[in-house]
Structure 1
């Protein structure tokens, strides 16, 4: 059997809060295979976003081990983690995190430039076309709707063709129609590029479009369900 793209073993996370130390994650064991799409669901405060951040090395596990593409993220320093994310991961945030002083094209091209791609702007333009925003390439985030900004963020995350795509409530700020459209793009582009997708969402109907749904409760995995094959 091939090795998982992501493998978490007995992962815990403790963070300092206003009232002292808080236990966020408790003994998480989870394997994600190459090309698999995972929907993380659960009530607010269950640890979904924290688990996603630990998977991306954006939050360091307090104990346990996080392997990504066979590399131990828990053993890397911040510089090594940043390089690993640059070369292998795309992250899509609910709040978009676009650079307001850059056009859509520049926002998408930036990670490609940082990765040393000489054709960064050509690839960025093709990616914007892929998400239906070719005509908006020279517009700034403030000139675009929420749905358009999220499509730019999605294009930016996928332009470097990452092995792993992490999406934290990517449809949370959007209405139903725009949310469904972003989910269509997310799954379609992930499938096209062969990226492994882990998606945090409050919407069960979106999570159920993934290959597997993982439910969290109180920082623990509370159950898993594979998508039923079509008849």
Structure 2
């Protein structure tokens, strides 16, 4: 694979807990190509979300290396990681993480405002229209359903036109109909912006739509998946 968008070499993650040091990820080696869609699957506690977090620099790996778009995330401090994400990544969480005191439009415009974009609100409005929520731009998260909040979160993640889109259980808090709608929007965003999409999911139907599925078990890529991952 030439010039992977994401490249992990022996990546590890250990965290200190009440019972002492806990090893969460063990020697993950994985390359993801530009434009590829990869599903991370496995039982609860297998390390799926932790792997996604270290890919995005939201959690610092404690071993190995992680390169995104040729940049070594393990060498960056928190400020540098925040700037890198702002310019190159979009992240969608299961629990939406919208700012409750901001309208849908303000939530979506926030990453553009932080980047100094003069047309932040115009672009945010266009992105809300793209996810079918132009008519809800003045509403606050508490005034929206879970499906609508996740659409706002998707719009916020994609408004900066990120090269990498990371999604952690994006349909986990939604019913079947809303989950299907969010799946369709995720893949539409990937197609419209040409982003590389990595998602954590328990939903077989969502994993089935990915170009590649990586199975995790006990903080490692499952043995039969290693050849496919490398």
Shorter-chain TM band: over 0.9
**How many Å apart are 1:205 and its aligned residue?**
1.6
1:24 and 2:29 matched: no
Is 2:62 the counterpart of 1:62? Answer: yes
Equivalent residue number for residue 208 of structure 1: 208
Deviation at 1:116, TM superposition (A): 1.3
Flag structure 1 segments of 5+ consecutive residues without an equivalent.
Answer: 227-231
Question: What is the distance in 2 between the residues matched to 1:59 and 1:71?
Answer: 16
CA drift at 1:88: 0.4
What is the match of residue 98 of structure 1?
Answer: 98
Two-structure CA RMSD over aligned residues (Å): 1.1
In structure 2, distance between residues paired with 1:4 and 1:116 = 29
**What does residue 175 of structure 2 align with?**
175
The match for 2:134 is 134
In 2: Cα distance, 1:215 partner to 1:192 partner: 27
Cross-structure match for 2:72: 72
Residue 186 of structure 1: aligned partner: 186
SS in 1 for 2:80: helix
Q: Distance in 2 between matches of 1:194 and 1:116?
A: 23
**Partner SS state of residue 97, structure 1:** coil
Superposed, 1:132-171 pairs within 5 Å as 132-171=132-171
Task: Determine helix, strand or coil for the equivalent of 1:121.
Answer: helix
**For structure 2, which runs of at least 5 residues remain unmatched after alignment?**
none
SS at 1:132 equivalent: coil
SS of structure 2 residue aligned to 1:154: helix
Aligned equivalents of 2:115 and 2:2: distance in 1?
A: 28
Mapped to 2, the partners of 1:30 and 1:136 lie a distance apart of 40
Per-residue deviation at 1:102? 0.4
1:196 & 1:111 partners in 2: Cα distance? Answer: 19
SS in structure 2 of the partner of residue 102 of structure 1: coil
Per-residue CA deviation, residues 23-45 of structure 1 (Å, 9 max, x unaligned), is: 10011000000010000000000
Q: 1:2, CA displacement in angstroms?
A: 2.7
In 1, the alpha carbon distance for the partners of 2:214 and 2:208 equals 10
Report what 2:217 is aligned to: 217
The count of corresponding residues between Structure 1 and Structure 2 is 226
The separation in 2 between residues aligned to 1:22 and 1:171, in whole angstroms, is: 28
Distance 2:38 2:180 in 1: 17
Inter-partner Cα distance in structure 2 for 1:182 and 1:204: 15
| Aligned-residue offset at 1:19 | 1.0
Q: Deviations over 1:140-164 (max 9, x none)?
A: 0000000000000000000000010
Q: State the 1:18 CA deviation.
A: 1.7
Question: 1:229: which partner in 2?
Answer: none
